[in-house]
Amino acid sequence: DTAVSQTPKYLVTQMGNDKSIKCEQNLGHDTMYWYKQDSKKFLKIMFSYNNKELIINETVPNRFSPKSPDKAHLNLHINSLELGDSAVYFCASSQGGGLETQYFGPGTRLLVL
Contact 86, 78 (CB under 8 A): no
107 binds another protein (CB under 8 A): yes
98 binds another protein (CB under 8 A): yes
Contact 49, 66 (CB under 8 A): yes
Which segment (12-20, 67-75, 76-84, 94-102) binds another protein by CB under 8 A? 94-102
Q: In Å, how far are 8, 10, 47, 48, 82 from 96, measured between CA atoms?
A: 26, 29, 15, 11, 33
16-55: which residues touch another protein (CB under 8 A)?
33, 40-45, 48, 50, 55
CA-angle at 69, arms to 66 and 73, nearest 5°? 75
Of the two residues 34 and 81, which places its CB atom closer to another protein in the complex?
Answer: 34
Which segment (14-22, 62-70, 76-84, 96-104) binds another protein by CB under 8 A? 96-104
Radius of gyration of the chain (CA): 13
Q: Which residues bind another protein (CB under 8 A)?
A: 4, 33, 40-45, 48, 50, 55-56, 58, 90, 92, 97-99, 101-107
